[in-house]
Amino acid sequence: MSLSDNSRKKRGQTTSTITEAERIVADQVSPNRRAEILEYLKLFGYKPDRTILQVHLVGFFNKRRTNVRAVEQREAAAKRYGGTTFVVVGRTHDPSIMDSVIKPKKKRDETSPGYVGYLWKSKDPQKRAPHEVIPLDFTPVHVPYPADWKNMFATKGFMVALHVPTSFAKHKNKLSRALYRAGKKADVRKPWDFVEEIRSSGYGQQAAEDPLSILKIRLAKGEISPQEYEKLRHTLTT
């Protein structure tokens, strides 16, 4: 057997293992999991047609190369809006997410070394919203990720993050504390009743989507170029 044959066999075995792991997860979670992911993300102001989700490797998340200007911009934005707009919402260990993300176009030295790419309906080849693409093992922040799932996928994991509306920046810490309290007793395999409990308590209701303001902040932070800003602004307003 040639080396190329061995390579193809190994790739086939890996794909088969991941497919089996995904089947096991799908059998264990709520049949309504996609809708639950949607409702969970809505707590942060997520809108299927407009929100962009970023994907980062665990262990490298937000480890940017030294950039004094970028640090100053983030601090200024946090001071202006009463908090940062960027927040991690959960994690997945399923490597298939790598096949769905849109790869970043920025130069490597301008981004976090762990930044994998983003999910956005407008850029998805099949026009799928981010919550329709995220693997079913997606686990909300503060909810324990099952050890057996981690062993099946055998990856370090991927962090999923987004920019909350600027009007919600100063409120997101309250939501995080509510999620922390709920997460301690939640089982990701079971129905996510904690989402409705948190919403009924008033958390997350301030997160009315403000896409244009988010674009302005991303431009100010240097996360997108003026050309990208104009293109995205045109998409959102047409």
CA distance 78 to 124: 31
What percent of the chain shows pLDDT beyond 70?
71
CA distance 64 to 113: 7
Average pLDDT for 156-170: 84
> CA dist 187 to 139, 143, 145, 176, 203, Å?
10, 7, 9, 17, 20
Per-residue pLDDT band at 231 (split at 50, 70, 90) = confident
At residue 129, the pLDDT reads 97
pTM for the complete prediction?
0.73
Average pLDDT for 59-75: 54
> CA dist 88 to 109, 148, 172, 189, 219, Å?
22, 23, 11, 20, 20
Whose tokens are 């089982």? That residue is 187
Average pLDDT for 46-66: 79
Per-residue pLDDT band at 238 (split at 50, 70, 90) = low
Residue ranges of the domains in the chain?
Answer: 3-237
Per-residue pLDDT band at 47 (split at 50, 70, 90) = very high
pLDDT, tens digit, 9 for 90 and up, residues 104-139? 876 554 456 788 999 999 999 999 999 999 999 999
